[in-house]
Amino acid sequence: MAREPFYTGLVVDKSLTQKYDFNPYYAHIESSLGDPIIIDGTAFINLAANNYLGLAADPRVARAIALAAGRYGASMCGTPIATGSMAILTRLEQRLATFAGVEAGIIFPSAYQANGAIFLSLAGPEDLIIIDHYAHASLIQGVRLAGCKIRPFLHNNMDHLRKVLSKTEMYRRVFVVTESVFSTEGSLAPCDEIIRLCTQFNAVPVIDDSHGIGVLGRSGRGVLEEKNVVNFEGIYTASLGKALANAGGFVGGRKAFIEYLKYSCPAFIYSTALPPPVLAGVEAVLDIIDAEFPALSEKMWRYKRMISQGLVASGFNVTDGSAPITSIMVRDLDDCARLAKMIHEANILVTPFVPPSVPVHENKIRLIAGANLSEGTVGRVLDVFQSIGRRMTAV
Amino acid sequence: MSLQDRVIRTIEKNLEGKERTTITPATDLRHDLGVDSFAMLIIINALEDEFSITIAEKDFIGIAHVADIVARLQQHYPDLKEP
């Protein structure tokens, strides 16, 4: 095989970014996620990161990470099953399980890897996975890898889910997969209803709480606390890289399930454990949540309300999600690119979502204001959007 | 109701969103309706229920327009009767 045709065949369609001389992806950040952040030497307001509680640059977290690096070093240099499981790892796994409201848990290098891997160990050709149409790419990839029958259901549509569940007698195992918070629009899944339907039809609920852990619930423990779920009989996954401000993916559930995964899931068995300093960082964030969640949560939600209301007042069409996420909806792809560029030129970092990340004509620009921002910063954001709204109306 | 009308009605009932153009045989599933691979699966499953058939997903590869769905149904399930 000639190698050159292989490389010339690897084409990325950059026509839109070339047309507007602007690429919003892979911004070159030179600072921590403070306020402001520095991109290519310029100060920006960060509304892109999933840093809901604003703890990514918290000095207490950084200090805990540095101390752990001094005590444990950089790496386990191997997989827990083969080279040993550090006490800090097993301690955090149990702490996260208790925090989220499940019996036991394990930590993968990332939530994407966890979601992408667990179904391969649990489902086969004789099984069925029912999944919300708008579920995250990691879940979609995971269920596809399992090689079982897949039946998507209409987004958050419980009548449709019930209809699909009513025709599942021929399958050995049935799973219902959803996210607690859908991250591009901020909509919440009716997880209590989904769990109830799963119980009625003997299905196993699988809930990805990546955007819910540290955000939802009276004390920030996520969707199970939010929905008052006790003795959860399903599978729980969550990212440690959003509100928990570090990295990694948590999978929780009953002890038997976790024990099974530890000896059957190749992505877990053959992955090097997260570096100990990262585990210490998660512990530090959990300490802060335990002590300060009401105050952090109040700021997070206040900023969300300010931004949503400000955008509507400036003429933007925004999603009416119930999570601390606000997305501007832009039907036309070119309009979305133009708007994203105007926001960037005003030194605000946001996340544009275009197909295939979202359906055609459902382009979105997502804004998440972390609790580390000041009210003055959020006020400046609203001033910028008021100005952009006027310019767009004039055009 | 004709086969085509039943297909269109089934698609209408199995898409998210409220604002949408009128669906006709010429409607482009992806560009006009935003149908992705999972939405296509939802539509196929709904057609199975509507016509009480089992559809092999491979028979619906390469579908672009609503008319293609009608044609594939006629091709692979010739016994489908108008009610």
Residue type present at position A206: V
Min distance A111 CA to chain B CA atoms (Å): 22
Cα separation, A178 vs A168, in Å, equals 18
pLDDT at B79: 82
B38 contacts A359? CB cut-off 8 A: no
pLDDT in tens, B18-52: 566 789 999 999 888 889 999 999 999 999 999 99
pLDDT in tens, A262-307: 999 999 999 999 999 999 999 999 999 999 999 999 999 999 999 9
Cα separation, A196 vs A189, in Å, equals 13
Question: In terms of CA atoms, which chain A residue is nearest residue B31?
Answer: A360
Q: Given B31, B34, B42, which is nearest A362 (Cβ)? A: B34
* DSSP assignment string, A333-386: HHHHHHHHHHHHHTTEE-EEE-TTSS-TT-EEEEE---TTS-HHHHHHHHHHHH
A164 contacts B36? CB cut-off 8 A: no
The stretches in chain A having pLDDT less than 50 are none
Dihedral in degrees, nearest 10, Cα atoms B39, B41, B44, B49: -100
Q: Note whether residue A119 is domain-resident.
A: yes
Asked if the C-beta of A140 comes within 8 angstroms of chain B's C-beta atoms, the answer is yes
Cα separation, A209 vs A232, in Å, equals 13
Q: Are residues A106 and A239 both part of a single domain?
A: yes
Q: Are residues A340 and A385 both part of a single domain?
A: yes
- A163 contacts: CB under 8 Å, gap ≥ 6: none
CATH number reported for the structural domain that contains residue A164 in this entry: 3.40.640.10
Using a pLDDT cut of 70, give the percent of chain B over it: 93
Instruction: Read off the tokens for A394.
Output: 């004039």
pLDDT at B19: 60
Cα separation, B30 vs B63, in Å, equals 10
Asked if the C-beta of A280 comes within 8 angstroms of chain B's C-beta atoms, the answer is no
Asked if the C-beta of B23 comes within 8 angstroms of chain A's C-beta atoms, the answer is no
Task: Give the residue from A340, A308, A339, A343 showing the smallest Cα distance to A323.
Answer: A308
Asked if the C-beta of A43 comes within 8 angstroms of chain B's C-beta atoms, the answer is no
Q: Are residues A270 and A297 both part of a single domain?
A: no
pLDDT at A392: 81
pLDDT at B20: 66
pLDDT at B82: 58
Q: Which CATH number fits domain B3-76: 3.30.930.10, 1.10.1200.10, 1.10.3720.10, 3.30.70.260?
A: 1.10.1200.10
Q: Note whether residue A19 is domain-resident.
A: yes
Q: Are residues A28 and A125 both part of a single domain?
A: no
Cα separation, A239 vs A139, in Å, equals 13
Q: Are A168 and A197 in contact (CB under 8 A)?
A: no
Partners of A142 on chain B (C-beta within 8 Å) are none
Q: Are residues A209 and A309 both part of a single domain?
A: no
Q: Are residues A90 and A234 both part of a single domain?
A: yes
Instruction: Read off the tokens for A312.
Output: 């509507």
Asked if the C-beta of B53 comes within 8 angstroms of chain A's C-beta atoms, the answer is no
Cα separation, A286 vs A91, in Å, equals 13
Under 8 Å CB pairs connecting chains A and B tally to 34
CATH number reported for the structural domain that contains residue A304 in this entry: 3.90.1150.10
Sheet holding A363-367, edge to edge: A326-330, A363-367, A351-353
Q: Are residues A203 and A232 both part of a single domain?
A: yes
Instruction: Read off the tokens for A130.
Output: 């029912």
| Best mutation target, B45, B47, B49, B54, to test chain A (most A CBs within 10 A) | B45
Q: Note whether residue A180 is domain-resident.
A: yes
Last residue of a domain, which of A241, A274, A307? A274
Asked if the C-beta of A196 comes within 8 angstroms of chain B's C-beta atoms, the answer is no
How many structural domains does chain A have? 2
Last residue of a domain, which of A214, A239, A274? A274
Q: Are residues A84 and A130 both part of a single domain?
A: yes
pLDDT at A306: 97
Q: How far from chain centre, in Å, is Cα A224?
A: 16
Q: Are residues A250 and A380 both part of a single domain?
A: no
A164 contacts B45? CB cut-off 8 A: yes
Asked if the C-beta of B42 comes within 8 angstroms of chain A's C-beta atoms, the answer is yes
Last residue of a domain, which of A213, A245, A274? A274
- The parent domain of residue A145 ranges over 75-274
Q: Are residues A180 and A261 both part of a single domain?
A: yes
Cα separation, A296 vs A317, in Å, equals 27
Q: Given B16, B36, B41, which is nearest A151 (Cβ)? A: B41
Which strand (E) or helix (H) includes residue A8? helix A3-8
Cα separation, A294 vs A300, in Å, equals 10
ipTM: 0.90
Q: Are A247 and A125 in contact (CB under 8 A)?
A: no
Q: Note whether residue A281 is domain-resident.
A: no
pLDDT at A208: 98
pLDDT at B18: 56
Min distance A361 CA to chain B CA atoms (Å): 7
pLDDT at A185: 85
Q: Note whether residue A64 is domain-resident.
A: no
Cα separation, A203 vs B37, in Å, equals 24
Task: Give the residue from A144, A151, A115, A186 showing the smallest Cα distance to A358.
Answer: A186
Q: Are residues A184 and A134 both part of a single domain?
A: yes
Q: Note whether residue A116 is domain-resident.
A: yes
